Structure 1
Amino acid sequence: MASITKRGNKWRARASYVDAKGERQQPSKTFDTKREATEWATKLETQIIDGADINAGKLTFPAYFRNWIETTKQGTVRASTYTRYTTAAKLIDKVFAGMIMEKLTTLSLQKELNTFGETHSKKYARDILTLIKTSLRDAYLDGIIKRDIFTRLQPAGQVVDKGDNFLNASDFTKLQDFLYSKTDEMQTRPFYIMALVALETGARLGEVQALTKADISENHLTINKAYSSSTRKVTEPKTKSSVRTIAISKRLSAVLSDFFKTTGQDNLIENKMSTGRVSLEMQDLVREADIQPIHFHGLRHSHVSYLLHNGVDIDYVSKRVGHANVSVTLQIYAHMLKEKELAQDELTLQVLDNE
């Protein structure tokens, strides 16, 4: 209940309630008129009845964000995903230090995002902003902030030109031939077989490292788990659509069969590799095979590019690489599809011109 008392020429409104932790809270505020004090007390009582945490608005944004991920994400997302949230929390501690929830505005947030973007890539800024918007949307729904201050926020960052992270058709077959020539060395250098599997299946790094002997059957490979380098554990894959069984070539099936038979191991990769080591191994592979520089994930992109280049249906490709739907594939590989469209335009004109 709220009480209104006169103190000199002022009026003080005070409310009393027990918060979610069972602690007694007594927020108060002084006004020039009794009417203002009554209106404030009535509004406050309505919020209390609706279950709002009145004092939550006085938290700093970093404190709220940490409480938000501990309450809504811990135990409900994959361990590797939760690590991503906690990493973001450390960054938010620095970028938005001291900013109070109830005083946040779109402009104040955007100003800090712009400063952050001066030293970070736009992609990274966009990823962080997604988490920020999600947390603030929950704060808005819970009545902690009183208006939508997040929808108009924009990522600010440096556009980094990393070049094409996929191989052209010539380099694809060149790397393919190189890796098949190294089958006798795969036992001592397992990165060769990791790269070959990624190139011929489009599997992600974590999916490749989690493969076992039981996942390989005649001319088929089942992907139903993934290794996380951040938690160093094998867990469920990235999404439900990531669980899939795909056809593999007879050559790859034979190489995998011989590898498991020769090594006698159940896991494709017994000693899991960190992302740092994979990066170094990939740099060496690029030099050895004499192909254009790409990252390990570029093997997945190369797989998709090569299939599309050779006329494989995009719906099939989308399912093969574990995308949720074909629109994801279209979005990621729009540049490749545009090149193919231009080539088809040229072919069409040649046909119509009878050339």
Structure 2
Amino acid sequence: MAHKNQLFHRYFHEWMELYKKGAVRNVTYQKYEMTHKHIVALAPTLTLAHLNRQAYQSLLNDFAVNHERLTTMDLHHHLKAAILDAIDEGLIKRDPTRKAVIKGTVQRLHKVKFLHQRELSKLLESLKLNQNISWDYFILLIAKTGLRFGEALGLTPTDFNFSEQRLTINKTWDYKSQSSDFAPTKNRSSIRKIPLDWHTSMQFSQLIRDLPKEKPIFIKKGKRAYNETANDHLERLCKRAEVPVISIHGLRHTHASLLLYAGVSVASVAKRLGHANMSTTQKTYLHIIQELENQDNDKIMRYLTSLT
């Protein structure tokens, strides 16, 4: 039973086992386990009774010395969730996370988030698409569908409906674990059917026609697939095509961004990406949406002017 003199890291461990284990995906739960390790390292003797604003800010500051601001923010969110429950239980009198200042190291130079249409065309033209499954086909499919890395890895021939030109997403591939097996999708909204363009549909109909129906098409028997391997391959392709280097996840952003620029509604893009709600899409692509709104405002003004 929790009490005020309990060590904070022990309370957090009990809290995450009680409320998060089995309720979130294994990958997400591993992040909570990592947060617990950070608390043990940064504040091994901190008790709930002594968890005030100063102690909490000090913990965040110590973490921020070697981590970027966004990473510090993630830690803060994990800790705050547990602390608010401790407050509800009467173990902490006041919220120590109130007005917490989130710091962090200067962000490293990241890859660009998405390519423009001409750049994506150059990248796709550089792909070597022969008769065998390869990372080039993997990159093509993500560029054309906006799939997540694990979703694309989990695809089997039965997920393709070539007569209707649709791709069914109802599972992922747990590439981060040693077991390397199928896993549930990120959320219920991630279970979806994605229309395929006829050219991509024709390419894959020939490519996978003789493959085992229930086996992942991009996973070689007895071998694991790594995100880093795919990103390294994509980097080489980007350099060869003389376009900005992006990540596999950047291809997903590229897919969504180009659809928005093409005039596809936010609701349709959210559904295609498997977002739980439109607000996720709006936050992720806020700069594009604002740019399109400015263009719409110009159109509105030109139209209204024409009425006079």
Change (3 A) 1:162 1:338: farther
RMSD: 2.2
> Paired residue for 1:83, among 20, 30, 34?
30
Aligned to 1:45: none
CA contact (8 A) 1:119 1:157 kept: yes
CA distance in 1, matches of 2:100, 2:173: 34
Question: Is this contact kept in 1: 2:219–2:225, CA < 8 A?
Answer: no
- Are 1:254 and 2:206 matched, yes or no? no
> How far apart in 2 are the matches of 1:153 and 1:234?
40
* Structure 1 residues 301-329: Cα deviation after superposition (integer angstroms, max 9, x where no partner): 00011111111122111111111222211
CA contact 1:178–1:289 (8 Å) conserved in 2 = yes
Residue number among 137, 143, 148 corresponding to 2:84 in the alignment: 137
Read off the aligned partner of 1:97 and give its amino acid letter.
P
- Please state if 1:69 is matched with 2:16: yes
Task: Name 2:193's counterpart in structure 1.
Answer: 245
State how far apart, in whole Å, the 2-side matches of 1:122 and 1:66 are. Answer: 24
Structure 1 unaligned segments of length 5 or more: list them. 1-19, 21-52
Residue 227 of structure 1: how far off its partner (Å): 1.9
Answer yes or no: is the 8 Å Cα contact 1:209–1:269 preserved in 2: yes
The one of 143, 146, 149 equivalent to 1:205 is 149
Within-5 A mapping of 1:77-226: 77-160=24-107, 162=110, 164-179=112-127, 182-184=128-130, 186-187=132-133, 190-218=134-162, 219-226=165-172
TM-score, normalising length: structure 2: 0.88
CA distance in structure 2 between the aligned counterparts of 1:124 and 1:195, rounded to whole angstroms = 28
- Per-residue CA deviations over 1:220-276 (Å, capped at 9, x if unaligned) read 001111123332332111111111001011111112212212555732212341122
Q: Distance in 1 between matches of 2:135 and 2:211?
A: 14
1: CA distance, partners of 2:14 / 2:167:
41
The answer to whether residue 264 in structure 2 is matched with residue 312 in structure 1 is yes
| 1:239-318 aligned within 5 A | 239-261=187-209, 263=211, 266-271=215-220, 272-318=224-270
Taking CA–CA contacts closer than 8 Å with sequence separation of 6 or more, which of the two structures ends up with the larger relative contact order? 2
Shift of 1:115: 2.7
Deviation of 1:216 (Å):
0.6
Measure how far apart 1:142 and its partner are: 2.0
Give yes or no for contact 1:221–1:247 (8 Å, CA) kept in 2: yes
| DSSP 3-state at the match of 2:147 | coil
Moved over 3 A (4+): 262-266, 341-354
Amino acid of the residue matched to residue 230 of structure 1? K
Give, as a single letter, the amino acid of the residue that structure 2 aligns with 1:254: M
User: CA–CA distance in 2 between the matches of 1:322 and 1:168?
Assistant: 22
Change in 2 beyond 3 A, CA 1:169/1:68: same
Aligned to 1:229: 175
Greater fraction strand: 1
Q: Which 10-residue stretch deviates more, 242-251 or 93-102?
A: 93-102
Q: 1:339 aligns with which of 283, 291, 294?
A: 291
**Residue 58 of structure 1: SS of its match in structure 2?**
coil
Matched position secondary structure for 2:126: helix
Aligned residues: 297
Deviations 1:41-63 (A, max 9, x none): xxxxxxxxxxxx4xx32222122
Instruction: Give 3-state SS (helix, strand or coil) of 2:219's partner.
Output: coil
CA distance in 2, matches of 1:186, 1:143: 62
Higher Cα radius of gyration: 1
Map 1:38-57; keep pairs closer than 5 Å. 53=2, 56-57=3-4
TM-score, normalised with respect to structure 1? 0.77
Query: Identity over the aligned pairs, expressed in percent?
Result: 29
Q: Is the 8 A contact 2:126 2:237 kept in 1?
A: no
